[in-house]
């Protein structure tokens, strides 16, 4: 039976095959840490050969790589490459200067939030600013998640808040303020998170997930799978890699968990984007292509990537050259579940009732 609508790597690979990652580009953007974390290990073509795999190269250099019999195998000779001494009058290389995170005043941050809201109204499809009740709900749930995770808010910054409630399936950008200042919403769009009841589909985990330079995102190639679906969107669409996280297996009644690669990405523009607003993914967060482009060009989750771009060419290659990073850009994805919040409040209310008015069944 053909698995339908395969979109992007979700579970830790069981083997060293690269086929699950065929939609990423360029390959050079994958860091060594990413390679090891994703389970992709480059092995010799001939298992019996004595050469080192890429994963064993450091052990070979140290003479610690084990042979097939379990004993330490001799390391290949290391040929020292002599570098010509630099001229004495050559100036020392300039130090790497990492730019500080932008910090706006409260008033300036609110002006910037209004500007972004106006721009999203113009350029992002299905964008809405929500009703006052929904806006307050997003703020309340975001505050609770940030407090629970002890994530510091030390500058005015945007949070990408996603409500995975199957009856909601929406994102909202929230301007989080340090101290006791009021938070405010900008608005958002429909999304699709993990679908229950379908084999190999995971429930998107809740929590606060940081877009850190420890992981390098990538861009879609726009290739189609066996069903003609471009699972992570058209060519060039950005994919934000939020790392490995534990998630509930949506097809199991016992709520067994497993590890998934949590990502934010677009989806097939011809067949799947119009379905946003319903649970449909294997665990990742699908967003409209126009929101993908807006987030990418304004760096809404890339504040740490901007710093990394000052010293690492891989990040400069990934980020768009025509970008204009917002000074209130952040780095946090906050996944909440308003259904669970309502259930928790209801349970607490029932628990506080007098015993005489509490009926079982």
pLDDT-derived band at 180, boundaries 50, 70, 90: very high
Q: What is the pLDDT of residue 250?
A: 97
Within a 10 A sphere around the Cβ of 62, how many other Cβ atoms? 9
The Cα 216–Cα 265 span in angstroms is 14
The Cα 335–Cα 283 span in angstroms is 12
Percentage of residues of the chain with pLDDT beyond 90 = 67
Average model confidence (pLDDT) across the chain: 81
Terminus-to-terminus CA distance in the chain, angstroms? 42
Per-residue pLDDT averaged across 323-349, rounded? Answer: 84
pLDDT-derived band at 91, boundaries 50, 70, 90: confident
21: which DSSP letter?
Answer: G
Per-residue pLDDT averaged across 191-201, rounded? Answer: 97
Q: What is the pLDDT of residue 323?
A: 97
Q: For the segment 124-176, what is each residue's pLDDT rounded down to a tens digit? A: 999 999 999 999 999 999 999 999 999 999 999 999 999 999 999 999 999 99
The Cα 174–Cα 142 span in angstroms is 8
Q: Which residue has the higher pLDDT, 317 or 96?
A: 317
**3-state class (DSSP) for residue 218:** strand
What strand order describes the sheet that includes 332-336? Answer: 184-187, 170-176, 157-163, 332-336, 207-210
pLDDT beyond 90 at 89: no
Q: Which of 57-61, 78-82, 222-226 has the highest mean pLDDT?
A: 222-226
Could you give the C-alpha distances from 77 to 51, 55, 61, 62, 74, in angstroms and in order? 11, 18, 8, 11, 9
Token representation of residue 10: 């979700």
pLDDT-derived band at 12, boundaries 50, 70, 90: low
Within a 10 A sphere around the Cβ of 287, how many other Cβ atoms? 29
The Cα 314–Cα 205 span in angstroms is 29
Q: What is the pLDDT of residue 95?
A: 83
pLDDT-derived band at 8, boundaries 50, 70, 90: low
Q: What is the pLDDT of residue 345?
A: 52
Q: Which residue has the higher pLDDT, 357 or 242?
A: 242
Task: Find the range with the poorest average confidence among 80-89, 304-313, 324-333.
Answer: 80-89
Question: Are the C-beta atoms of residues 288 and 192 closer than 8 Å to each other?
Answer: no
Residues facing residue 159 across a β-bridge: 174, 332
């Amino acid at each position: 039976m053909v698995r339908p609508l395969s979109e992007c790597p979700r579970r830790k690979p069981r083997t060293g095959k690269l086929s699950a990652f065929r939609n990423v580009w360029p390959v050079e953007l994958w860091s060594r840490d990413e390679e090891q974390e994703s389970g992709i290990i480059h092995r010799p073509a001939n298992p019996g050969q004595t050469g080192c795999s890429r994963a064993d190269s450091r052990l070979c250099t140290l003479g610690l790589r084990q042979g097939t019999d379990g004993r330490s195998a001799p390391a290949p000779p290391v040929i020292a490459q002599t570098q010509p001494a630099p001229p004495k009058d050559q100036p020392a290389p300039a130090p790497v200067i990492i730019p500080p995170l932008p910090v706006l005043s409260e008033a300036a941050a609110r002006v910037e939030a209004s500007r972004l809201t106006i721009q999203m109204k113009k350029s992002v499809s299905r964008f809405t600013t929500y009703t006052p009740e929904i806006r307050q709900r997003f703020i309340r749930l975001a505050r609770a998640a940030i407090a629970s995770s002890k994530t510091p808010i030390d500058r005015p910054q945007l949070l990408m808040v996603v409500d995975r409630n199957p009856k909601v399936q929406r994102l909202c950008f929230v301007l989080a303020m340090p101290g006791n200042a009021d938070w405010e919403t900008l608005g958002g769009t429909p999304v699709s998170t993990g679908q229950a009841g379908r084999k190999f589909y995971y429930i998107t985990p809740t929590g606060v997930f940081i877009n850190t330079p420890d992981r390098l995102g990538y861009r879609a190639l726009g290739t189609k799978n066996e069903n003609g679906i471009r699972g992570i969107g058209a060519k060039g669409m950005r994919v934000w890699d939020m790392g490995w996280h534990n998630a509930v297996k949506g097809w199991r009644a016992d709520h067994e968990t497993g590890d998934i690669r949590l990502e934010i990405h677009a989806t097939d523009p011809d067949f799947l984007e119009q379905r946003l607003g319903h649970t449909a993914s294997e665990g990742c967060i699908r967003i409209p292509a126009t929101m993908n482009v807006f987030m990418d060009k304004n760096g809404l989750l890339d504040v740490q990537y901007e710093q990394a771009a000052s010293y690492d060419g891989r990040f400069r290659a990934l980020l768009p050259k025509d970008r204009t990073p917002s000074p209130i850009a952040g780095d946090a994805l906050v996944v909440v579940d308003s259904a669970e919040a309502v259930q928790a409040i209801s349970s607490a209310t029932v628990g506080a009732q007098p015993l005489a008015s509490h009926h079982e069944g």
